[in-house]
Amino acid sequence: MSNSINGKICIITGANSGIGKATALGLAKLGAKVVMLCRNKTRGEEAQNEIITKSGNKSIDLLLADLSSQSSIRQFVSEFEKKYDKLDVLINNAGVNPSKRYETIDGIEKAFAINTLAPFLLTNLLLPILKNSVHARIINVASAMQNKSINFENLQFKKHFRSWKAYSQSKTALIVITYEFARRLSGTGVTSNCLHPGAVKSNITRDYKGIIKFFTKLFFCFAKSPKKGAETSIYLASSQDVEKISGKYFIAKKEEKSKDITYNTDIAKSLWDVCADLTNISVEEVGFINST
Ligand SMILES: NC(=O)c1ccc[n+]([C@@H]2O[C@H](COP(=O)([O-])OP(=O)(O)OC[C@H]3O[C@@H](n4cnc5c(N)ncnc54)[C@H](OP(=O)(O)O)[C@@H]3O)[C@@H](O)[C@H]2O)c1
């Protein structure tokens, strides 16, 4: 595999734990300038020190943001823009699988807010600076857990909340948005792809309790390590083989087909409009809110 990541600036969200930390370490070892987006200073600094020590790469920056808060995402982007004049790779890795229905400070169901809306908002706000790079890459860590449809009437599970359904709908929506970014960014040099990392031992089910926690733990006994789980993210960020590939879904470094619904452009347009509405982004900020 030929790699083109040396000296490139890469943001990784949720870089203090699991797949995100392993991705940050892998890219640091390849010589990337890594910007870790983490929500907790102590956990972020611990991971930052570990990555510097293990990789010998000192270009590991830590910027704090809570992805459940849209104002925190906006503050992160303005801090990033003060320090950096371009961005080569954005890995929207952070994700949650809440066991109950929680609402964020913005009044949005937590899985949808963090797994779908945060990547949508962060990516849109960073687009101008991504376009400053000759070839920039947006990489969204999705999941094989995808729903056959997106229920626009109950997008935020105000009725009948089911943890895994809310999670898989938020990840289905993330794939739809990934493909829509690819269409809207066609010809700009910015690519947009997504991936399923496989079943990986991590903290993703930390919220679970009782019998569900027991069975989930049992299932994850057979899961792969975060290092293995990070391989496709690292491949999509660094390999020249995929420099011009856009609008695709990967598993184990190979293009795969996601659920049929994710390719539906009418659904994509509706979802894009809902996301734009819920995040209050304007055409002036990003240039193409309703261009398709
Ligand atoms: N593990 C799997 O089997 C699997 C399978 C398919 C897809 N995925 C996806 O892979 C991605 C990484 O998950 P993981 O398995 O590595 O789980 P993890 O160990 O729980 O890591 C999730 C990361 O997201 C961060 N995060 C959560 N809420 C945040 C917020 N509000 N603001 C900023 N950061 C936040 C966490 O930070 P804190 O440590 O501070 O909470 C943590 O760094 C997720 O998108 C997940 O859905 C995982």
DSSP line for 35-62: EEEES-HHHHHHHHHHHHHHH----EEE
Please give the Cα distance from 284 to 281 (Å, whole number).
8
**Do residues 34 and 60 lie in contact, with contact meaning Cβ atoms separated by under 8 Å?**
yes
Buried b vs exposed e over 105-135: b needs ≥16 C-beta within 10 Å? Answer: eeebbbbbbbbbbbbbbbbbbbbebbbebee
| Banded pLDDT at 222 (limits 50, 70, 90) | confident
pTM over 0.85: yes
Catalytic residues: 167
CA of 197 to the centre of ligand 1 (A): 12
CA of 187 to the centre of ligand 1 (A): 31
Mean pLDDT of all residues belonging to the chain: 94
Look at 1-15, 45-59, 166-180 and tell me which has the smallest mean pLDDT: 1-15
137 φ, ψ (degrees, to nearest 5): -130, 130
| Banded pLDDT at 268 (limits 50, 70, 90) | very high
What average pLDDT does this structure show over 46-59? Answer: 98
195 lines ligand 1 (CB under 6 A): no
Is the pLDDT at 211 greater than 90? The verdict is no
Which of 62, 96, 146 to mutate to test ligand 1, by most ligand atoms within 8 A of the CB atom? 96
CA of 114 to the centre of ligand 1 (A): 10
Please give the Cα distance from 63 to 67 (Å, whole number).
12
Structure tokens at 147: 């729903």
CA of 292 to the centre of ligand 1 (A): 31
Please give the Cα distance from 210 to 27 (Å, whole number).
37
Please, what is the end-to-end C-alpha distance for the chain in angstroms? 35
98 lines ligand 1 (CB under 6 A): no
197 lines ligand 1 (CB under 6 A): yes
Which of 43, 46, 62, 93 to mutate to test ligand 1, by most ligand atoms within 8 A of the CB atom? 93
Is the pLDDT at 2 greater than 70? The verdict is no
Structure tokens at 90: 């954005």
Share of the chain above pLDDT 90, in %: 87
Please give the Cα distance from 152 to 271 (Å, whole number).
8
Buried b vs exposed e over 69-84: b needs ≥16 C-beta within 10 Å? Answer: bbeebbebbeebeeeb
Is the pLDDT at 149 greater than 70? The verdict is yes
pLDDT value for 138: 98
